[in-house]
Amino acid sequence: MPKIHPTAYVDKRAELAENVEIGPNVYVGPFVFIDEGTVIKAHSYIETHTRIGKNNQIGPFAVIGTPPQHLSYKGEETYVEIGDNNIIREFVTIHRGTSLDEGITRIGNNNLLMSYVHIAHDCKVGNFVIMSNNATLGGHVIVYDRVVMGGFSAVHQFCRIGSFAFVSGMSGVVKDVPPFVKVFGIPAKIQGLNIVGLKRASFSKEEIRKISQALGIFLDGPATLSEVIQELKDIFGEEPWVKILIDFLENPSRQGIMRRRATEGENG
């Protein structure tokens, strides 16, 4: 049976699986499902239409499943979905989606969201993502797997952050961040390859060399984006890690893809 503190409120329309723990003064609203092993710590607020997977650690004072901060929202039934094994620290806010998108804000598995992180409506966050204190995502942002975002960084709505990218603290992202790079500044610019991140992820020297070569073609070539994509395909074929970059470049958001390399004076 779930373990529910006497001071907590759990709506009768909520569903709690085995071994769920609900701490003091927690609010769990209607149409919330919480799966096995998840712990909701003191004073957290989970409003409605939220599905939380297994073995998550949430709170205290986290706020999840509240309405989107969007003037077009008129009370439509929209959702938050959170996967398994996430650590969601104190004062994190995660809002439901809107009818302007799929209506779902989705968090994957094995993520660390540090204190005061904000994930706005309709965002999609992948797996093994680290968002440091006060990192903020505007609406409709997509964050791919194994991204690291530094403290107080912010991402403009509709942008994408590619896999294995590193967004330095205090950065303002206004265009799509390609995979494998590190960015810094306001507006953020590409500093180079995220070598530290790739080494920590156990990429081989040969894999890093190929990714670096592909990134150089993307950043330094005078060609159009479509010409860069074709050149990458011609040189690397189906090389799996380079294909991640190619796939990303083939599907830009409305914000466009960050391509400018920072000058020496702009390096963080």
Active-site amino acid positions: 121-122, 139
Distance of CA 91 to the CA centre of its chain: 17
Q: At what angle do helices 225-236 and 240-249 cross, to 10 degrees?
A: 160
Residue among 36, 247, 24 nearest 144 (CA): 247
Task: Give Cβ neighbours of residue 206 (< 8 Å, ≥ 6 apart).
Answer: none
DSSP 199: H
Residue among 58, 53, 24, 25 nearest 39 (CA): 58
Q: How far apart are CA 186 and CA 238, in angstroms?
A: 35
Q: Using DSSP, state whether 134 is helix, strand or coil.
A: coil
Residues 130 and 99: beta-carbon distance below 8 Å: no
